[in-house]
Amino acid sequence: MDGLAKTTRASVYLQSGLNFKRNMLARTFVPHRLLSRQAFEQFALDWLWCGNCYLEKRNNMLRNTLGLLPPLAKYMRRGVDLETYYQVRGWKDEHEFAPGSICHLREADINQEIYGLPEWLAALQSALLNESATLFRRKYYNNGSHAGFILYMTDAAQKEEDIDSLRTALKNSKGPGNFRNLFVYAPAGKKDGIQLIPVSEVAAKDEFSSIKNISRDDLLAALRIPPQLMGIVPQNAGGFGSLREAAEVWAVNELEPLQARLAQVNEWLGEEVVGFKEFELPTGGK
């Protein structure tokens, strides 16, 4: 679970998409005396990032419900009997919850029925690829490799000490303080005695953009969020179409099913605690 949690921050599109869904659920959520808006946001985020979410029912001495609190899904584990729940933070650091006090909602899975899996799991490699491309590009600039080239020298008129000085100057041009200009004095030198051959600078730039765009599209497809709702700038003149229409279609196809899944808490509790208002877009002038 720790690795999956770290992956949510591997790509800006993945984390932004999960937060966008969380925000839309929180926007339509109707707070209840047993479940605050803050508690619901954590509850909804756990469902989105790992496909599991939990609510603990806190009772008073008379066994009346005081409130519902969301234990972090990252540390929740089920017992062997599948009825007992534990919060495990580390070696010999565990807490057993009272029987019947935990409501567990999980994303349906085709292989097992103990834990859920997030819907975006199929795009995991795309998120990691997006992260790798960004880290590579960052190191590419920090190391000064964007100015990489081969200095091809065949001019016999060059002195050995001049060649050593030139080699030292090129070595010092990498890293912080790069983009330095070099001066070479070659009296009686030939026209092609010194040649500067770039090494894959343009190709690396194009490959970086291609990887970022392809992995971004994979993540948006897995999250099922229109690009205009994510603030992505269109690359064509036509754009992405109407923002309002995209939001309305997304609310029907994605937001309402999410609301219905989270509302399963009401069946477990026997009381309508998780409720939502209708999704509406502001009209002009408001």
Of the candidates 142, 69, 126, 56, the one whose C-alpha atom is nearest the C-alpha of residue 97 is: 56
Burial of 276 (0-12, 13-18, 19+ CB in 10 A): middle
Q: Which amino acid is at 274?
A: V
List, edge to edge, every strand of the sheet that includes 93-96: 76-78, 85-90, 93-96
Read off the pLDDT band of 242 (50, 70, 90): confident
pLDDT of 180 strictly over 90? no
Structure tokens at 132: 């790798």
pLDDT tens track for 125-150? 999 999 988 888 887 777 665 545 66
Q: Which residues contact 90 (CB under 8 A, 6 or more apart)?
A: none
Of the candidates 91, 85, 90, the one whose C-alpha atom is nearest the C-alpha of residue 70 is: 85
pLDDT of 244 strictly over 70? yes
Is the CB of residue 127 less than 8 Å from the CB of residue 219? yes
Q: What is the pTM of this model?
A: 0.79
Read off the pLDDT band of 182 (50, 70, 90): low
Candidate from 47-56, 67-76, 81-90, 234-243 with smallest mean pLDDT: 234-243
How far, in whole angstroms, is CA 97 from its chain's centroid?
Answer: 31
| Helix, coil or strand: residue 95 | strand
Query: Domain limits of the chain?
Result: 1-122+245-276, 127-204
The HSE-up count of residue 275 (CA atoms within 13 Å, CB side) is 9
Read off the pLDDT band of 284 (50, 70, 90): low
149 or 121: which carries more pLDDT confidence? 121
